[in-house]
Amino acid sequence: MSPNNSELGTASPTQKAQVKVPIDVQGIVKRATELNDFGHLLEHVPYAKFIGMKVERFGDELIFKLPAKDDNIGNPVLPAIHGGVIAGFMEMSAIVQLMVFMQTAKVPKVVDFSIDYLRAGLHKDSFAECRITRQGRRVANVNIDCWQTNRKQLIATARAHFLID
């Protein structure tokens, strides 16, 4: 019986494709910050790409944008954005905010996430803004507000705790 590739210590092309190379999170965040292009960071997040998420920096603030997209509709009668898409957008906004402003070496892990839906998110562009309150060395608290046409008329608000180390 002849030995197969794995017994010889060499990997077949299929096995090589399955080897995962760790992503340099800190390097990606650093490059995005240096270039002031946070789209570069979002390109590495499949869910952000799927929902069409964007981000712009204005001074020390990041404003996240969820463009109107037919695939994000949950209620076609209104039409309104699916609540899960709104929650995912807000959670991802908080994660990116933490990564950029705390220069994390790893992607923060969600400890808990609580959302209050205040009104229907209609089929138009939505925006989110995050405020970080750091609690201790390993945990961060983030408040997230989401609106559409008027920043004072929120469609949702959320609170989240993340493990940052």
What is the structure's pLDDT at 76?
Answer: 92
Quote the crossing angle between the two packed helices 83-101 and 25-35, to the nearest 10°.
80
How far apart CA 27 and CA 97 sit, in angstroms, is 16
Q: Say which range, 11-15, 21-25, 118-122, has the weakest mean pLDDT.
A: 11-15
Q: For 106-164, what is each residue's pLDDT tens digit?
A: 899 999 999 999 999 999 999 999 999 877 788 999 999 999 999 999 999 999 999 98
How far apart CA 103 and CA 33 sit, in angstroms, is 9
* Per-residue pLDDT at 97 exceeds 80: yes
Residue 17 — very low, low, confident or very high, per pLDDT cuts 50/70/90? low
How far apart CA 77 and CA 91 sit, in angstroms, is 26
* Per-residue pLDDT at 5 exceeds 50: no
Q: For the residues 73-102, what does the mean pLDDT come to?
A: 94
Q: For 41-80, what is each residue's pLDDT tens digit?
A: 888 889 999 999 999 988 889 999 999 999 999 999 999 9
Q: Output 61 or 2, whichever has higher pLDDT.
A: 61
Are 66 and 126 in contact by the 8 Å Cβ rule? The answer is: yes
What is the structure's pLDDT at 80?
Answer: 95
Q: Which helix (H) or strand (E) holds 97?
A: helix 83-101
Q: Output 148 or 9, whichever has higher pLDDT.
A: 148
* Per-residue pLDDT at 32 exceeds 50: yes
Pairing mode of beta strands 126-135, 139-147: antiparallel
Per-residue tokens: 123: 């089929």
Widest CA span in the chain: 74
